[in-house]
Structure 1
Amino acid sequence: MDVRQLTYFVKLAETGNFTRAAEQLHIAQPALSIAIKKLESQLELPLFHRNDRKVMLTHEGSILLEHARLILQQMEDANIAMAELRGLEKGEVRLGLPSMLGSYFFPEILMGFKSQYPNLKLTIVEAGTQSIRKMLLNGELDLGIIHNADVPDSLATEHLINSQMVAVVGEGNPLAQQKTISFSDFFQHELVMFKQGYFHREFIDDVCHHHQFTPQIAFETNLLPMILKIVRNDFAITALLEMVTQHEQGLSAITFQQPVYLDIAIAWRKNGYLSVADRAFMEFVKQHCQ
């Protein structure tokens, strides 16, 4: 096996189509087909199930894909490290951010970092905690902001802030007069929630599982502006980080009788390479949080 073969193999596995994979690799389709057949011949194993429209990984192919992605990521890490030593790499930080933190906590941090390091590039991906963990493990992200719970062993984390999760209702809702609310009262109301995979939803699902509640989810969306509008217009209530209500009008925050605080952390791959840009960003964020 060589790096070129693994690159072709991964791209075909991701696209599931020889034509699309060849286009994205900027090679002719017959050349891709020959390269994949040669790889299968060398390994003496079938890597794909083929039909007219789509190719799918075999069991053997699925196992190779895990190793191939890791090898290609390590090669990329090595190239970045060597480029930095030559002084040729300006640097890029690929960061995963959940919606709420990306909207209310991190904008000032990102702008401050860019002001201090104008030649570094920031690439921000909005996603839920579960997706950010997967993208870190796959090498799609360098750093991610996640809920620091049930973290895979292959990720390292460092605490940044504790943030309170509160019930959120429209300011005209009768509940807005309450200072606290029980979980049982909260789950008697129709809810608008993020989809599964976001720490906001993980919190709700954990409470329901622990107390055996059945949530009445009337709306499910990953669009934070839509959630806020639904709550403002009193079509449903929700639970969000308290920082959201500190920046948004027309909403009231109600503390849960059993207060809920989330441990928000920055995460990275334990065995991954952190560039000079990544390390500079981590230090900048930690100083801001202190």
Structure 2
Amino acid sequence: MSLPFDLRTLRVFTTVAERGGFSAAARELHVAQSAISQTIANLERRLELTLFHRHERRISLTPEGQALLGHARDLLERADAAHLAMRELHGLVKGEVRIGIPSMLGSYYFPPLLMGFKARHPGIRLTVVEAGARRLQRMIAAGELDLGVVIDDDQSRQMERRRLVHEEMVVCVPVDHPFAGRDGVSPEEFFAEPLVLFQDGYFHREFVEGLARQTGLAANVAFQSNLIPLTKAIVRQGFGITTFLRRVVDEPELAAVSFDPPTWLALSLAWAKDAYLSRAERAFVDFVIDHRQSL
């Protein structure tokens, strides 16, 4: 069953009611008075109600007209709010981007990108979800997250990806450790040491486990922590060594030493294939790709 009015009709009705006459409403809406009169007459006919008392020089609302006026104002306010929201989204004045980032990247790589995007689009809300890269991949596949940073490998090939980081994974040791100052550390030497590792699901832990499988060696896990500052403190105190992306080893008490042979890790910004990205999310992807050289 179709409604007896549309938004245009309601706007004419409220304008007549608020201005107290057809002539005044016609002037405000920039239409002919006859068009205003016809619109109101058609509305009353469809509703089978009299909405205005017609006096010789003025009009006034009937009780039925008063009842309709409140509903009409509410509907028009909601329509105006919806229109404004769509205009804001189209112009990227508002919106939300939820991005999943592993802690290592979130702490050392992404802050300039996030702040740069926020400066360009201050009305867009950024929500960062911290989890391991493999966990983020599962969340994207399950529809729980739209964008995330994943390991660029065979397991992520079913996703849309844009390469972000291709950086060396290094051994992190105290500066007084025998490995410090060396050109390289073999996997055998690395696995002979007590290790401080992230928990399962993080690319840091997956990298070490992959290296163990390649060499047939077992990791001697002394500590497990997803907190980078705590991991660094344990390494500084000499209770174990770890591996990080090279940029993360940024303290004078710690040394970064290449593996022998050197090992590199690729990480990408990803989303589900054929997934719909909002304008805000698409703008974020474009911004990150345009500025990834700063990573």
Answer whether TM exceeds 0.5 for this pair. yes
Task: Check conservation: 2:212, 2:219, Cα contact below 8 A.
Answer: yes
Q: What is the rounded CA distance, in whole Å, between the counterparts of 1:83 and 1:194 in structure 2?
A: 47
Normalising by structure 1, we get a TM-score of 0.68
Q: What CA deviation, in whole Å up to 9, does each residue of 1:54-83 have, x standing for no partner? A: xxxxxxxxxxxxxxxxxxxxxxxxxxxx98
DSSP-derived class of the 2:256 partner:
strand
User: What are the residue-to-residue correspondences of 1:1-290 with 2, within 5 Å?
Assistant: 86-87=86-87, 89=89, 90-152=94-156, 154-245=158-249, 247-290=250-293
Displacement of 1:88: 5.1
Structure 1 residues 87 and 256: alpha-carbon distance in aligned structure 2, compared to 1, 3 A threshold: same
1:173 maps to a residue whose letter is: H
1:119 maps to a residue whose letter is: G
Task: Check conservation: 2:134, 2:151, Cα contact below 8 A.
Answer: no
1:97 maps to a residue whose letter is: I
Q: What is the rounded CA distance, in whole Å, between the counterparts of 1:276 and 1:114 in structure 2?
A: 15
Structure 1 segments of 4 or more deviating over 4 A?
A: 82-85
For these two proteins, the number of residue pairs brought into alignment is 208
Displacement of 1:152: 4.2
Structure 1 residues 205 and 279: alpha-carbon distance in aligned structure 2, compared to 1, 3 A threshold: same
1:234 maps to a residue whose letter is: G
Identity %, equivalent residues = 42
Normalising by structure 2, we get a TM-score of 0.67
DSSP-derived class of the 2:179 partner:
helix
Q: What CA deviation, in whole Å up to 9, does each residue of 1:225-275 have, x standing for no partner? A: 111110111110001100101x33311000011111111111001132101
- The structure with the largest alpha-carbon Rg is 2
Q: What CA deviation, in whole Å up to 9, does each residue of 1:88-123 have, x standing for no partner? A: 542111000011111001101100110011000100
Q: Which residue of 2 aligns with 1:25?
A: none
Displacement of 1:179: 2.0
Structure 1 residues 117 and 232: alpha-carbon distance in aligned structure 2, compared to 1, 3 A threshold: same
